[in-house]
Structure 1
Amino acid sequence: MRILFAGTPGFALPSLDAVADSGHELVGVMTQPDRPAGRGRHLQASPIKQRALELGMPVLQPETLRARHGEDEIRALRPDLAVVAAYGLLLPGWMLSLPAQGCINVHASLLPRWRGAAPIARAILAGDSLTGITLMRMARGLDTGDILAQEATAIGPGETAGELHDRLAGLGGGMLPAMLDALARGEVAGRVQDEAAATHARRLDKAEAALDWRQSAVSLSRAVRAFNPWPVAHGGLDGERVRVWRAEAIGGAAEADPGTVVAADAAGIDVATGNGQLRITELQWPGRRRLPAAEVARGRPLVGKRFE
């Protein structure tokens, strides 16, 4: 098959590599336009564009696919199949029907649970014990197409969104070769998603990362994991916004108002919550490097202070 790949962030790299290394022909790569990044706000190519150039592939970067933008370039590649992984734009009807074999998507959840932009973080926030990768045939609508294959994996008790992201990216790339061969042989039959079981993984918002200490320690620990590496959970302390990179719920009620530091020692910084205590083990003050909480506890008097 002649395969067109569409993706943008690092999550899509294992999938692009899997297509490139398969026995099929990678004919081109679509990715988001270069965006300003870093302190200098210089234009930066996406990870997928950088890898595509290394592979010597034609790169297409349409600003939009509406009104058939980029259609002539895409048609000129004559794809039999499009493989999509975290591309960032919804494919319009003309694009979905262009390849004879259609378009398949590598999605980081066990559909129909967590359709949408942030399935990894939403799974952690919800306390899910399992997630996985779904290979689906794309259709009009957000992640609504037929399921072609799924593989589940357990979410580790302390696993962050960044760590889970990397594992799922590799899992998705590992599932693709067999799927491509099966599609080429015409041996794949999809199954319709159960609409009644669908949930929506809305895009993350920076405002969500402000920790509400009235919540339970369990909920707060999930938030810390879900927002690592972005947008990073935080709380106000001594008039500064302190980023909380790692934390865990510990047992025992604290006789203090939520947000109050009740202990700070080699184990970490223990904070009272609405139910239980949150032990912070890694944090960061503005303009400074990330530090183990034990190191902070040795250098600052924290007990009795309160996070806002």
Structure 2
Amino acid sequence: MIQGDKRLRVVFAGTPEFAATSLQRLIEQQSILNIEIVAVYTQPDRKSGRGQKITASAVKKVAIANNIPVEQPVSFSLKYNPEQGVSGKVSRETLEKYRPDVMVVAAYGLILPLGVLGIPKFGCLNIHASLLPRWRGAAPIQRAILAGDTLTGITIMRMNQGLDTGDMLYKNICPITDMDTAQTLHDKLALLGADAIVTVLQDLPNYQKKAEKQIDNEATYAEKIHNTEGQINWQDSAENIHRQIRALNAYSYLHDERIKVLAAQSIKQDQVTTEPAAKIVSVGKKAILVSCGTSNDGMKRLINLTVLQWAGAKPLNTEQIANSNKINDGDYFEMVD
């Protein structure tokens, strides 16, 4: 964004890879956009992985690699939290010292109160992974797949006190294919998000002038994903189960063993069956066929599982499974009560 010879002072706030993609792009485009990223805000380092080692966020790693100051407050709330031992007053004062013109926020994970949203001269812009007002909230990518949406995208919005309710400045559309998973869609949207924020910052006054209010009665909410949502109910339709596998950490039980279902083929509409739900109809080298519940058209279909993982073991493809005798024709996955 050109402001004469003055660079726009940008504070970036984000935590995971989705946000790191946009941060990296903004760093690369600083000269072209006439901006200066003066600070990066991210969640405190946390334990992760099997070894539970304290690990910096993806955003922090990008900031450090580019010599950008990093701030990791635990809260911006003015209410003192004795467990955290800090007040958000200090966090706000630190942010003010950076004199931000704009704050770019992407999957930050920390609530920004009204007093914080008002600190940057041109407000706070959020990179949201849906076409608002559809899928406001924590898990828009997974919810879009679960719902069978064929389109999603990125919305750049001006943040307010509500949950993803702010005025929309720009949208970038992304198709959802029937083989997109939460990870592949995440990666596509991360790149689109980076494109979108660059586009907006190139002409911020114009996009702010044309900001569009959301229609609240068209909103849907992407609630946080719970682990139990991953358990497959084989009475459900093959189409819904396929979406569940693509969107979540799907799993089922066989012989009292928990098995992750990592991948499945697209549903074949002519692959109908009369077998009971949860029955493993065929274990072959190209697919493991499992009978599902009734679809909307009244037909029962098979789902073709292609990658499974037993606890403590590596993922196995169908050929490896067929040669292992871990699953046999006629076995049944456990039903959900």
**Is the shorter-chain TM-score for this pair beyond 0.5, marking a shared fold?**
yes
Amino acid at match of 2:252: G
Q: Deviations over 1:90-118 (max 9, x none)?
A: 21001111111000000000000000000
Give the 5 Å matches for 1:192-207: 192-207=213-228
TM-score (norm 2): 0.87
Q: Could you tell me how far apart the structure 2 residues matched to 1:10 and 1:190 are?
A: 27
Superposition RMSD on alpha carbons, in Å?
A: 1.3
Is the 1:18–1:176 contact (alpha carbons within 8 Å) kept by the matching residues of 2?
Answer: no
Secondary structure, aligned partner of 2:229 = helix
User: 1:54 corresponds to which residue?
Assistant: 65
Amino acid at match of 1:8: T
Is the 2:200–2:207 contact (alpha carbons within 8 Å) kept by the matching residues of 1?
Answer: no
Q: Does 1:304 align with 2:310?
A: no
Q: Which runs of 5+ in 2 are unaligned?
A: 1-7, 79-87, 295-300
Q: Displacement of 1:184 after TM fit?
A: 5.3
Give the 5 Å matches for 1:64-75: 64-67=75-78, 68-69=88-89, 70-75=91-96
Aligned residue-pair number: 304
Given candidates 172, 175, 178, the residue that maps to 2:199 is 178
User: 2:4 corresponds to which residue?
Assistant: none
Q: Displacement of 1:157 after TM fit?
A: 1.2
Amino acid at match of 1:250: K
Percent of aligned pairs with the same amino acid: 41
Q: Displacement of 1:238 after TM fit?
A: 1.6
User: 2:310 corresponds to which residue?
Assistant: 285
Q: Displacement of 1:38 after TM fit?
A: 1.9
Amino acid at match of 2:200: M
Is the 1:102–1:137 contact (alpha carbons within 8 Å) kept by the matching residues of 2?
Answer: yes
**Range with bigger deviation, 121-130 or 257-266:** 257-266
TM-score (norm 1): 0.96
Secondary structure, aligned partner of 1:273 = strand
Q: Displacement of 1:40 after TM fit?
A: 2.6
Q: Which runs of 5+ in 1 are unaligned?
A: none
Give the 5 Å matches for 1:141-220: 141-183=162-204, 188-220=209-241
Q: Displacement of 1:250 after TM fit?
A: 3.1
Secondary structure, aligned partner of 1:36 = strand
Secondary structure, aligned partner of 2:74 = coil
User: 1:294 corresponds to which residue?
Assistant: 319
Given candidates 33, 40, 43, the residue that maps to 2:51 is 40
**Range with bigger deviation, 46-55 or 289-298:** 289-298
Q: Does 1:80 align with 2:101?
A: yes
